[in-house]
A and B are shown apart, each in its own frame.
Chain A
Amino acid sequence: MELPSFLVTAFVAAMVSAFGSGLLSTFVVLRRASFTSEAFAHIAFAGMAFALLAGLPYGAVTFLFVAAVAFTVGFASSRMAVAEVNLTTIFLAVSMATGVLLLSVNDGFTPDIADYLFGNILLVGESDLYVLAVLALIDLAWLAVFFRAMYYTAYNEDAAGVYRIPTRLVTTSFLVLLACNVVVAVKIAGVVMITAGLVLPGTIALLVTRRILAAHVVAVLVSLGATMGGFLLSYTGDLPAGPLIVVTQFGVFVLVLAGRGLLRK
């Protein structure tokens, strides 16, 4: 049986995206950046609304907008004596407010924005696939360079700073990379589900192993496995793939928790 090409593209895109989010997931969890990733997805809203109003390509504009916010949060929060989480929350609220204001200037609600907010894997084109692949490679390269520095920054930023880890560079680059992954993946998963892909694999991995390298491998495997499983369920049950991927990940999470509980007994 031959599958339609758009379905194959969608599947490959989802797998590449799952690979990227799986790579970052462990550090998202260890650095307690799950709220940040959720916030970035919402902050993208203002960028999208502005691009729509100005008639600019909203993929690129959103990308630049969220990356700029991530850079500001990472670089400026320590200098401004405002906690990172508070600065992120401020940007989230202002971005949502600005997005709503901009859209109210525009006539009516736009279906494209709805797709962007809730995601639609079947809309992914070949060019998106290239962007996803390049970003996954950047994720890998970043991890290769920053792995140890990020590990110690996530452990204790003060101690890492004293021991000559450039914590501001590490944090800022991580947040910018996270923002890029969120913006790119948002088209597939939508803002509502993006956080699950960045948090659940890492959480599951850290329940399974206490070794940092192994945790990254497990997180990627969980992310890929759940995406494959979600797609399979979607294809056989004629249901939307995105939510099924999240539900599959959650199922693995529950199973792992139950397994740990049984092992303790």
Chain B
Amino acid sequence: MIEVRGVSLRIGATAVLEDVSFVLADGDFTAILGPNGAGKSTLLRILLGQIPEAAGHVLYDGVPARDWLREHHVGYLPQREVVPRMFPGTAADIVRLGLLACRGAFSRLPADSARRVRQALEMTGAAHLERRAIDALSGGELQRVLLARAIVGGSRYLFLDEPEAGVDSQQIIEFYSLLSRLNSEGRTILLVSHDINVILKTVSSVLCLNRTLHCHTAAELVSAEVVQKTWGEVLRLVDKHF
């Protein structure tokens, strides 16, 4: 379980997040929705312990995030991961980072690491990319490899920041059905997305965020009123059931 209590962040005079509180129960599949600049990615990074200057409390299983993250890791798919040009390494090398995370940076990799890497790549439909140079991957291929990295370590928690970026529409459907499967296998998933259509069909609950939290509700209860409150007049919920 993840508890977020009164999380706030100011950068200079600008409030990026204000008094955000919510609870993620084990097995939740939750999406953070909100317009650009709402603080969605920032919130994820705070949960990952990457922004220590944020105020408030984040607890994993009742343990402060900083302490919990020393011993455990969260599977994370960033919004955009910059792959340095000509960087030596294959997709498998990048996935292996996820295995290293569950054992510690200076530990030996498990004896069955090659099998686990392959298995993770198979799960994300990227087995054929195992030996492909990382800087030769397309946007969609890279997302699948990074998702394999996120799940290979067996973390109970999976955070994804706009996983549909660079992925075509057919792949998005496959991607979300994979996430549903991972969720049904017991992983708690928190994802940031702009794609309301897909999100409302897939997740179990929704956090509407625009610097502060406007709602935390079951996906089917997201109302036009909440959507307008979160996005302003820019966006209207036409038919969430398609």
User: Which A residues fall within an 8 A CB radius of B?
Assistant: 30, 145-146, 148-149, 151-152, 154-156, 158-166, 170, 206, 209-212, 215
Alpha-carbon separation in the docked complex, A146 to B76 (Å)? 23
Alpha-carbon separation in the docked complex, A62 to B126 (Å)? 51
Beta-carbon contact of A163 and B101 below 8 Å: yes
* Contact of A163 with B89 at beta-carbon distance under 8 Å, contacts A149-B106, A156-B82, A210-B133 already known: no
CB distance from A158 to the nearest CB of B (A): 7
Query: 1/0 per residue B81-107: CB within 8 Å of A?
Result: 111101111000110011011001110
**Given contacts A30-B84, A210-B88, could you give 14 more A-B pairs where the C-beta distance is less than 8 Å?**
A145-B106, A151-B89, A152-B97, A154-B84, A156-B81, A156-B82, A158-B50, A159-B97, A161-B50, A162-B74, A162-B78, A163-B97, A163-B101, A163-B153
Q: Does B73 contact A (CB under 8 A)?
A: yes
CB distance from A131 to the nearest CB of B (A): 27
Nearest 6 interchain pairs by C-beta: A163-B101, A149-B105, A210-B88, A164-B101, A165-B105, A162-B76
User: Which B residues fall within an 8 A CB radius of A?
Assistant: 48, 50, 69, 73-74, 76, 78, 81-84, 86-89, 93-94, 97-98, 100-101, 104-106, 133, 149, 153
Which DSSP category, helix, strand, loop or mixed, fits chain B's interface? loop
Identify B88's interface contact among A146, A152, A206, CB under 8 A. Answer: A206
Alpha-carbon separation in the docked complex, A162 to B45 (Å)? 9
* Contact of A215 with B88 at beta-carbon distance under 8 Å, contacts A160-B97, A163-B98 already known: yes
Beta-carbon contact of A155 and B100 below 8 Å: no
- Output the nearest chain A residue to B155 by Cβ-Cβ distance: A163
Beta-carbon contact of A206 and B86 below 8 Å: yes
CB distance from B3 to the nearest CB of A (A): 20
Beta-carbon contact of A159 and B81 below 8 Å: yes
CB distance from A85 to the nearest CB of B (A): 16
Identify B105's interface contact among A155, A162, A164, A209, CB under 8 A. Answer: A164
Beta-carbon contact of A211 and B73 below 8 Å: no
Beta-carbon contact of B88 and A163 below 8 Å: no
Q: Chain A residues near B88 (CB, 8 Å)?
A: 30, 206, 209-212, 215
- Output the nearest chain A residue to B103 by Cβ-Cβ distance: A164
Beta-carbon contact of A30 and B105 below 8 Å: no
Alpha-carbon separation in the docked complex, A30 to B85 (Å)? 10
Q: Chain B residues near A161 (CB, 8 Å)?
A: 50
19 A-B interface contacts by CB (under 8 A): A146-B106, A148-B100, A154-B87, A155-B83, A155-B84, A156-B83, A158-B50, A162-B78, A163-B76, A163-B101, A163-B153, A164-B69, A164-B101, A165-B101, A210-B89, A212-B88, A212-B89, A212-B93, A215-B88
Identify B73's interface contact among A148, A154, A164, A212, CB under 8 A. Answer: A164
Alpha-carbon separation in the docked complex, A23 to B143 (Å)? 33
Beta-carbon contact of A155 and B101 below 8 Å: no
Q: Chain A residues near B94 (CB, 8 Å)?
A: 155
Beta-carbon contact of B48 and A162 below 8 Å: yes
Alpha-carbon separation in the docked complex, A155 to B83 (Å)? 7
Q: Chain A residues near B153 (CB, 8 Å)?
A: 163
Q: Which of A148, A151, A159, A163 has the most CB of B within 10 A?
A: A163
- Output the nearest chain B residue to A163 by Cβ-Cβ distance: B101
- Output the nearest chain B residue to A166 by Cβ-Cβ distance: B105
Alpha-carbon separation in the docked complex, A202 to B209 (Å)? 47
Q: Which of A145, A152, A160, A209 has the most CB of B within 10 A?
A: A152
Alpha-carbon separation in the docked complex, A165 to B69 (Å)? 11
Q: Chain B residues near A151 (CB, 8 Å)?
A: 89, 93
Q: Chain B residues near A170 (CB, 8 Å)?
A: 105
Q: Chain A residues near B97 (CB, 8 Å)?
A: 152, 155, 159-160, 163, 165
Alpha-carbon separation in the docked complex, A209 to B74 (Å)? 33
- Output the nearest chain B residue to A205 by Cβ-Cβ distance: B88
Beta-carbon contact of B104 and A164 below 8 Å: yes
Q: Chain B residues near A215 (CB, 8 Å)?
A: 88
